[in-house]
Amino acid sequence: MKDQLGEWFLAKDDPPSLASAAQTTVAVMVSYLIGRLFRLPEAYWAPIATLIVLQSTLQAALPVFVRYFAGTAAGAALGAVMDTYLRGNTWAFGLAVFTIGLLCAALRIDRSAYRYASITLAIVLLPSRSTSARLIAFHRFFEVSIGLTVGLALVALWPRLGLVATAKGIHEADNSK
């Protein structure tokens, strides 16, 4: 069991590096500052979304981006609708999670998009707030969209900045090839 835990936890092929730490820091700070620029009440969701979408390559990040974006949009939209008709009803939350699950199953949508939709539903519908869930749904979608976009953009642009991430740190890319 101990060996298996080590296999799950210790990086062998893609350990963290100075470059990945720098990329992550730039991405989360930019997304948070943009969220604050728009005066979003819970701008911290932007860097959280950025952290979810950050991957080592654009090819790896794009599917995560699409699933998280679609799931957040669906969860925010259904959350706003449920709040309009069944405000504050605990059973409505359960019904909404089940409804999103049925819709995702019928459309053969990836389970991670379903999880993101359900997470958004929980954030929109469950907390007691003085603000309407419809406004919370709009804010959450906007905050997450900022974070996802910044994360994806940085994954796409980072190599073009002339930097290459390696296990030993940041090195200048050899663009003469």
pLDDT at 167: 43
pTM above 0.85, yes or no: no
* Sign (positive or negative) of CA dihedral 56, 58, 59, 60: positive
Q: Cα dist. 35→14, 18, 28, 47, 161 in Å?
A: 30, 26, 11, 9, 24
**pLDDT of 112-129, one tens digit each?**
999 999 999 998 888 777
Domain ranges (residues) in the chain = 17-169
Is the pLDDT reported for residue 53 higher than 80? yes
Contact in structure between 79 and 135 (CB atoms under 8 Å):
no
**pLDDT of 18-33, one tens digit each?**
877 888 899 999 999 9
Q: Confidence band (pLDDT; 50, 70, 90) for 84?
A: confident
Place of tokens 């930097």: 163
pLDDT averaged over every residue in the chain: 83
